Structure 1
Amino acid sequence: MRKSPRDTAESTREISRRAALLGGAMGAIVGVLGLRMRKMQLEQADQYRTLAEGNSVKIRLIPPARGLIYDRNGVLIAGNEQNYRVTITRESTDDLERTIAALQELIPISDSEALDILAELRKRAPTVPVTVADQLSWEEFSRLAVNAPALPGVTPEVGLSRSYPQGPDFAHVIGYVGPVSDYDLSRIEDPDPLLRIPKFQLGKLGIEAKYEENLRGQAGQRRVEVNSGGREMRELGRQEGDPGANLQLTLDHALQNFALARLGDESAAAVVMDVTNGDVMAIASAPSFDPNLFVRGISNADYRALTEDDHRPLADKTVQGQYPPGSTYKMVVALAGLEAGIIGPGDTEYCPGHFTVSGRRFHCWKRGGHGTVNLAKSLEQSCDVFYYELAMKVGIEKMSEMAKRLGIGVRHELPMSAVREGVAPTKDWKQQRFDQPWQIGDSINASIGQGYVLATPLQLAVMTSRIASGREISPRLVRAVDGTELPQTEAPDLGLSAAGLEQVRRGMFQVVNGSSGTARGSMIAAKEWRMAGKTGTSQVRNITAAERARGVVSNDDLPWNRRDHALFVCYAPFDAPRYAVAVVVEHGGGGSTAAAPIARDIMLFALAGGLPPLSAYPKAQQARMRTLLEGLELIAPATPGNTRTRV
């Protein structure tokens, strides 16, 4: 059937439209190809010429700056410093031995170190650069940079290395960083590529480890041109990474430094908490160590000196040390009895100097006894027999329940390494732990903080904070991350009777301020700063009946490691509590003589915001305290930053 002229014209127009569309599309494609060819021939000519000449483009990771750590006042306690180093990439050099020998003529590399470098290079992938030397001086780095063009595969680099400007002051709480090991990588399911950069620094202990992902940051990249000989010719592009988050802690550097100085040469620990919100103001373990040694590679001699010291400088005694709390535990037992309605403030017990149960005699620390004492007097004079009697009535389960309510036997979640939970024993605990039944003597020993009871200095500070505030105060160590303050809710009420708490607080006040108080020698003269506290002395050896008969050997006559531990806990001001302090002196002898004076001085420093005025001390002690305070080696920040000045 023949098409009409009209149909023919319509068909022609349709074909013309399709041809125009197809032609337009083809023209666009040709145009795009033309523009791409122009870009390749003109704008990217150098890059393709490089490839044509046998050069290649490599992607190198740029380690980000590690986040900084500050104290509550903005004083830098963990920062970064410039580090000059040199790397070798195996695939870029034909003769490793000759290259390393040439490096030995330019920078100090011993023959044994050269062998270690060769082994490391052969173990790593050929494309991975291996750091052969770091912490170079400017002269060494300059000499190396001048000769680098003649050393294929050798790259001088300027990076950042961790530094701790406050030295030992925060070693245990901050921890330190070190090179990533194979063991570190084995513990991570999907390691960040950054961690495979040789000598990259990873948090090993403390906050550095617990906040590793926050502090590490995100890697950047740089595109570099490398010639056929493996030599880096030029940088083609760079994309900087994101630095790690900065942390601000609750710690006060001046107070931390004073606490560590006041602990001196003792094997000891001190914790200061703000009882209103749980902020840890100071947490010092003595003796300490310089974390910078670990960052730069500690020598065998230095490490051996730390590990062989009987005062254990590497151990963080504040959260890892578990000690029998001694008589500081008596507040726990007293509150358990008060809450159970077993005793009242006026109830008394007679102390003849000993207590007998099941044919076994348990002694009071005062051989002749304390006579008739009530609750307040039992705390003031630290009468053991009062608590032996009370333990028989209260029972271990109620004592353990109260201990946990006050923070003992509970692991407090601080970003520190190996935080221990202590022990608030029960019948089931002993059965499961030792497969033995609970004995009456176990309860009696527990009543004075001996036997199976264990507490860390941090837990003792928490216990004291809760008694002082009546609230379930929990410790806090990190205040803000990258300028954003971490949320903090008001601590709930402990649910203890106000009358019971007041009785215990009054007894603690008498410990320091009463005429027969065991810590009267450490009282504060300034009325607005008067404190309440409790001494504690915990035995580390058994005293036999024969030794008691002939006279107990004095701590001063015993080897250091067989002497009693000394403890003291306190809070102040008594009328409006602000701070709680716990001090433990390992093998210090007595709590009243070894621990209480240290805790009193630390408390005064916290209250005064600096060195306490001599008027805060009793007049008879002011001359001695002037000499003591002036003799302390204090390093305090002058201004926010890392400036340190001697006081």
Structure 2
Amino acid sequence: MKRNPRDTAESTRRITRRGLILGAAQLGFAGVLGLRMRHMQVDQADEFRLLAEENRVNIRLLPPARGRIFDREGRVIAENEPTYRITVVREDAGDVEQVIARLSSLVELDEDELNRALAEMNRSAPFLPITVADRVSWEAISRVAVNAPALPGVTPEVGLSRFYPQHETFAHVVGYVGPVSENDLARYEDPEPVLRIPRFQIGKVGVERKYEEQLRGKAGAKRVEVNAVGRVMRELDRREGEPGADVQLTLDSALQEYCKARLGQESASVVVMDVEKGDILAIASSPSYDPNKFVRGISVADYGVLRDNNHRPLASKTVQDAYPPGSTFKMVTALAALEAGLMTPGDTHYCPGYLKVGTRRFHCWKRGGHGWVDLAQSLRESCDVYYYELALKVGIENIAAMGRRMGLGQTPDVPMSAVTAGLMPDKDWKRRERGAEWLIGDSVNASIGQGFVLTSPLQQAIMTARIATGRAITPRLVKTVDGVETPAPQAESLGINENHLRQVRRAMFEVCNDRRGTGYRSRIVTEEFRMAGKSGTSQVRNRVVRNEDVPWEERDHALFVNFAPYDNPRIAVSVVVEHGGGGSSAAAPINRDVTLQALYGGTPPLEAYPSAARSRIESQQERLERERRERQSDARSRA
């Protein structure tokens, strides 16, 4: 059938139109494809070249520089030192065992550290660098760098590690850092990525832990180009992190070092507080330990020596341990009675050497008794029976309330680890914790700081500062953070009758400056620096034998507290010597020496000491100075 010419023309036009549309679409698609290809091949050429099959771009976190820690005069307590280390990325290494074997032929690897690194490698992401050797020499780093092509995934690095230049002196205060553990990560709901970097150092105890957020800083990042065998070809870009904030403490390095040296090998502690602002000038526990060993990874042998030492060098005795305060608590009982209006300073009680309560005798330390004594004599000569009598009148509720006003039974707000609240017991406490009723004998024991009463050396310094000023002094350990002053807490009045405080202070003055005072032999002779204090002896076990006749760990604790100068108080000092025996014989001399060192700002003149003690003090000062020079020399060699 012959087609109509008109239909043929129409069909031709339709086909032509469709062909044009299809051709235009094809041409448009080709144009878009061409433009995209140009963009990828020209504009993005560098980026895709880096992502070629034989290359990769890695993004690596840059740990921030940790903030430093200084004393009140700007002397460094904790700093960062550059160290060389060798890391391995499992993903890039391929056959890890073979790579480690090659590395071992170039660098001496510690077996324990290597096993720890391999275990860390197995539980970490394959792209994270794992440190297999830390604090290696420059020669070792050079050998690794030269042999890099044969060591895929191995990278020599320069990093920062924590260092404590004064070693043992501030260990219990500043603490130390160590690698992040699972327990550390559990403290955070959403841990920062930097915390997952293996061997990243984080504060473990002390100020290092309490101020971890401020000291840590913010991580940076870098992009590096690596080839197919994992070797870093070049660094593409870098964003530096934010260094951590510097922290300045209220401590005085020179005084802290002296306190540590003066305590010697005793199991003891000392706290020195500024009574105006509450600044802690020194807070030392003895014996101590070198925190640098923990930073580098302490050996099992070294840790065993610290753990098994019966003087407990790992314990921060100033805040962590609580002791019966003994007779240093008598000021609290006296103030409770005075404030309750149940006695006057002139009231007397007869001390025959004991007080009989029911069928039990509570003995005074002086078996023959003190006779008739008033407030001043009871504190000066530390008569126990006087306070037994007061306890029967005042009751434990009044005594406990006064103890809390003095800062006892409450946790001091200081950034140290395991800070104890001590114990200021009352009837409710015994009923709640012991399931028993309070007895009269409990009050009698509590009146002289025995029984259930427990205080830390820091709490004793706070108590003494409050007696000296009549204000609610609270301790301050951190002076500035990142240069911003940490305000000293406002110390409000305790609301205690000033005349009552004056009577107690005067009695404490007689303790140190009256010939019959228990602290007279450890007095300060210099008129403007004379101190007021109180000795204490707290029983470890009930017994009747002498301290010298029992094992060391069963002997009484020795305590002494003071404030000075008496006429214009500047500092409060507390000393506890574990199992030292009598407070006046073991703790008072240390207390006096530390007080003079603080007041003079250095070695005091011999004229400040009683004449009978000057020869011994001169020898002691020479010995301490000689030991100080030896420690400095040893510290330089260890550094």
Give TM-score, length-normalised by structure 1: 0.90
Give the 3 Å change call, closer, same or farther, for CA 411–62 of structure 1 in structure 2.
same
1:350-408 CA-partner distances (Å, limit 9, x unpaired): 11111001111000000110011100110000000000000000000000000000011
Contact residue 254 and residue 636 of structure 1 kept, 8 A: no
Matched residue, 1:9: none
Counterpart code for 1:603: T
Contact residue 148 and residue 156 of structure 1 kept, 8 A: no
User: Equivalent of 2:562, from 546, 562, 570?
Assistant: 570
1:487-525 CA-partner distances (Å, limit 9, x unpaired): 234310010000100000000000000120000000100
**1:112 Cα deviation after fit:** 5.9
Q: 1:60 and 1:386 mapped to 2: Cα distance? A: 72
Q: 1:382 and 1:40 mapped to 2: Cα distance? A: 94
Structure 2 matches for 1:351-500, cutoff 5 A?
351-500=351-500
Contact residue 180 and residue 199 of structure 2 kept, 8 A: yes
User: Equivalent of 1:558, from 550, 553, 563?
Assistant: 550
Matched residue, 1:597: 589
Contact residue 514 and residue 520 of structure 1 kept, 8 A: yes
1:568-597 CA-partner distances (Å, limit 9, x unpaired): 000000000000000000000000000000
Give the 3 Å change call, closer, same or farther, for CA 392–466 of structure 1 in structure 2.
same
Contact residue 257 and residue 635 of structure 1 kept, 8 A: no
Counterpart code for 2:138: W
1:415-461 CA-partner distances (Å, limit 9, x unpaired): 00010001110011011111011111000000010000000000000
Matched residue, 2:321: 321
Counterpart code for 1:614: L
Structure 2 matches for 1:108-187, cutoff 5 A?
108-110=108-110, 113-187=113-187
Q: Which moved more, 1:529-538 or 1:430-439?
A: 430-439
User: Equivalent of 1:579, from 571, 579, 583?
Assistant: 571
Give the 3 Å change call, closer, same or farther, for CA 633–558 of structure 1 in structure 2.
farther
Give the 3 Å change call, closer, same or farther, for CA 114–579 of structure 1 in structure 2.
closer
- Aligned-residue RMSD, C-alpha: 2.1
Give the 3 Å change call, closer, same or farther, for CA 466–303 of structure 1 in structure 2.
same
SS at match of 1:319: helix
Contact residue 129 and residue 198 of structure 1 kept, 8 A: yes
Matched residue, 2:502: 502
Structure 2 matches for 1:258-407, cutoff 5 A?
258-407=258-407
Give the 3 Å change call, closer, same or farther, for CA 643–362 of structure 1 in structure 2.
closer
Matched residue, 1:621: 613
Task: Find runs of 4+ consecutive structure 1 residues off by over 4 angstroms.
Answer: 33-40, 110-116, 633-637, 642-645
Matched residue, 1:521: 521
Counterpart code for 1:586: E
Counterpart code for 1:577: P
Counterpart code for 1:533: G
Matched residue, 1:88: 88
Counterpart code for 1:265: Q
How many residue pairs were aligned? 602
Give the 3 Å change call, closer, same or farther, for CA 261–110 of structure 1 in structure 2.
closer
Matched residue, 1:16: none
Contact residue 636 and residue 644 of structure 1 kept, 8 A: no
1:151-187 CA-partner distances (Å, limit 9, x unpaired): 1111111000000001100000000000011222123
1:189-236 CA-partner distances (Å, limit 9, x unpaired): 111111111110010000000000000000011000112222221100
Give the 3 Å change call, closer, same or farther, for CA 36–535 of structure 1 in structure 2.
farther
SS at match of 2:236: strand
Counterpart code for 1:565: H
Give the 3 Å change call, closer, same or farther, for CA 445–40 of structure 1 in structure 2.
farther
Q: 2:452 and 2:487 mapped to 1: Cα distance? A: 37
Contact residue 114 and residue 133 of structure 2 kept, 8 A: no
Counterpart code for 1:412: P
Q: 1:282 and 1:606 mapped to 2: Cα distance? A: 9
Counterpart code for 2:221: Q
**1:110 Cα deviation after fit:** 4.8
Matched residue, 1:252: 252
Matched residue, 2:42: 41
Counterpart code for 1:224: V
Give the 3 Å change call, closer, same or farther, for CA 309–633 of structure 1 in structure 2.
farther
The sequence identity of aligned pairs, in percent, is 61
SS at match of 1:282: strand
SS at match of 2:533: strand
Could you tell me which runs of 5 or more consecutive residues in structure 1 were left unpaired when the two chains were aligned. Answer: 1-29, 544-551
Counterpart code for 2:42: Q
Counterpart code for 1:571: F
Counterpart code for 1:366: K
1:505-556 CA-partner distances (Å, limit 9, x unpaired): 000000000120000000100000000000000111112xxxxxxxx42212
**1:76 Cα deviation after fit:** 0.1
Q: 1:446 and 1:304 mapped to 2: Cα distance? A: 38
Q: 1:84 and 1:122 mapped to 2: Cα distance? A: 23
**1:111 Cα deviation after fit:** 5.4
**1:125 Cα deviation after fit:** 1.3
Contact residue 120 and residue 198 of structure 2 kept, 8 A: no
Give the 3 Å change call, closer, same or farther, for CA 296–470 of structure 1 in structure 2.
same
1:227-282 CA-partner distances (Å, limit 9, x unpaired): 22222211000110000000000000000000011111100010000001100000
Contact residue 558 and residue 577 of structure 2 kept, 8 A: yes
**1:114 Cα deviation after fit:** 4.4
**1:632 Cα deviation after fit:** 1.4
SS at match of 2:161: strand
Matched residue, 2:600: 608
Q: 1:489 and 1:247 mapped to 2: Cα distance? A: 18
Contact residue 82 and residue 159 of structure 1 kept, 8 A: yes
Contact residue 474 and residue 489 of structure 2 kept, 8 A: no
**1:49 Cα deviation after fit:** 2.0
**1:38 Cα deviation after fit:** 7.5
Give TM-score, length-normalised by structure 2: 0.91
Q: 2:289 and 2:215 mapped to 1: Cα distance? A: 22
**1:37 Cα deviation after fit:** 5.9
Q: 1:110 and 1:607 mapped to 2: Cα distance? A: 49
Q: 1:71 and 1:196 mapped to 2: Cα distance? A: 31
SS at match of 2:157: strand
1:3-24 CA-partner distances (Å, limit 9, x unpaired): xxxxxxxxxxxxxxxxxxxxxx
Give the 3 Å change call, closer, same or farther, for CA 138–426 of structure 1 in structure 2.
same
Q: 2:505 and 2:299 mapped to 1: Cα distance? A: 50
Matched residue, 2:221: 221
Counterpart code for 1:588: G
Matched residue, 1:8: none
Contact residue 425 and residue 452 of structure 1 kept, 8 A: yes
Q: 2:228 and 2:556 mapped to 1: Cα distance? A: 72
Q: 1:404 and 1:89 mapped to 2: Cα distance? A: 57
Give the 3 Å change call, closer, same or farther, for CA 413–111 of structure 1 in structure 2.
closer
Counterpart code for 1:41: V
Contact residue 166 and residue 635 of structure 2 kept, 8 A: no
